[in-house]
């Protein structure tokens, strides 16, 4: 029976494909504060600004390609029982070929009803119209977990992490909660944790931790090859 690998990915994965993150001082976030475009209050206060911002983000993502880390993670599926849990809202894991992906913070390629968070519809292309409505008649909003909102997929993600024989963390220094607390849901202290990120680690764990201090697109392919070779 194949070992279960769970890969938890953060903003560093997307950054290596040229996608700007909200911690960047340049790119799409340069002229916006989180309060302006990433809260439930913001979309009520200035719907046009919020919809326009996510249209720009969507257009940006559609122009980018999966990097070597996305490809390496998808390759693991051929050798291991592999699931991805990601904080990223782009579709680069999907485009790289990964088939089992849980998005903690939503997906740019989808919209949802303002009245019913479970009513989710795909969006064609990058542009959402200001007055587009969901099947229930309410205004559509980006399918994004705004700051201050609950993370509806968290319990599901915790159960996935609990099932891991090996946990890999890529492109995050585990500074953003509640997602960062996911590593605490490993089944027991024998589960090895690999962290691929150039930053200092912000993690406390009784588990054996291997820190690969490289960018995602450099360190993840190396780790994937190492794990695949261990099977031979």
| Domains with residue ranges and CATH for the chain | 4-229 (3.40.50.1220)
pLDDT tens column, 5-36: 999 999 999 999 999 876 554 455 567 788 88
pLDDT tens column, 30-79: 677 888 899 999 999 999 999 999 999 999 999 999 999 999 999 999 99
Q: Is the confidence at residue 177, as pLDDT, over 70?
A: yes
Cβ atoms of 19 and 172 within 8 Å: the answer is no
Mean pLDDT throughout 138-160?
95
- The whole-number pLDDT of residue 32 equals 78
Mean pLDDT throughout 101-108?
97
> Which one is catalytic: 70, 93, 103, 105?
105
- The whole-number pLDDT of residue 201 equals 82
pTM higher than 0.85, yes or no?
yes
Distant-in-sequence, close-in-space partners of 115: CB < 8 Å, separation ≥ 6: 134, 136, 138
Q: Is the confidence at residue 181, as pLDDT, over 70?
A: yes
- The whole-number pLDDT of residue 47 equals 97
- The whole-number pLDDT of residue 21 equals 74
**192 token code pair:** 């090895």
- The whole-number pLDDT of residue 23 equals 57
- The whole-number pLDDT of residue 34 equals 81
**94 token code pair:** 């999907």
Distance between CA 61 and CA 67 in Å, rounded?
A: 13
CA 156, distance to chain mean position in Å, is 14
Q: In the chain, what percentage of residues exceed pLDDT 70?
A: 95
- The whole-number pLDDT of residue 200 equals 86
Mean pLDDT throughout 99-116?
97
- The whole-number pLDDT of residue 25 equals 47
Distance between CA 182 and CA 114 in Å, rounded?
A: 28
Distance between CA 212 and CA 220 in Å, rounded?
A: 9
pLDDT tens column, 67-89: 999 999 999 999 999 999 999 99
Distance between CA 113 and CA 109 in Å, rounded?
A: 14
CA proximity to 85, closest of 15, 24, 172, 147: 172
**9 token code pair:** 């990915």
φ/ψ of residue 124, rounded to 5: -85, 130
Residue 156's pLDDT band, with cuts at 50, 70 and 90, is very high
**85 token code pair:** 């849990």
- The whole-number pLDDT of residue 87 equals 93
105 is catalytic: yes
């Amino acid at each position: 029976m194949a070992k279960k690998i769970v890969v938890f990915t953060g903003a560093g994965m997307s950054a290596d494909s040229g996608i700007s993150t909200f911690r960047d001082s340049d790119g799409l976030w340069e002229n916006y504060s989180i309060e302006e475009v990433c809260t439930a209050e913001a979309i009520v206060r200035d719907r046009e600004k919020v919809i326009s911002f996510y249209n720009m983000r969507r257009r940006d993502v559609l122009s980018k390609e999966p990097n070597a880390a996305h490809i390496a993670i998808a390759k693991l599926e051929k050798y291991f029982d592999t699931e991805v849990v990601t904080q990223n809202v782009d579709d680069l894991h999907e485009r790289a070929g990964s088939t089992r992906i849980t998005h903690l913070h939503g997906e740019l390629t989808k919209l949802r009803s303002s009245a019913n968070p479970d009513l989710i519809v795909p969006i064609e292309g990058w542009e959402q119209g200001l007055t587009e409505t969901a099947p229930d008649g309410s205004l559509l909003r980006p399918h994004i977990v705004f700051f201050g909102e609950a993370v509806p997929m968290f319990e599901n993600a915790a159960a996935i992490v609990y099932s891991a024989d090996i946990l890999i963390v890529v492109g995050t220094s585990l500074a953003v909660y509640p997602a960062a607390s996911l590593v605490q849901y490993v089944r027991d202290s024998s589960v090895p944790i690999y962290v691929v990120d150039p930053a200092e680690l912000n993690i406390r764990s009784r588990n054996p931790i291997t820190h690969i201090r490289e960018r995602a697109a450099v360190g993840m392919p190396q780790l994937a090859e190492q794990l695949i070779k261990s099977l031979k």
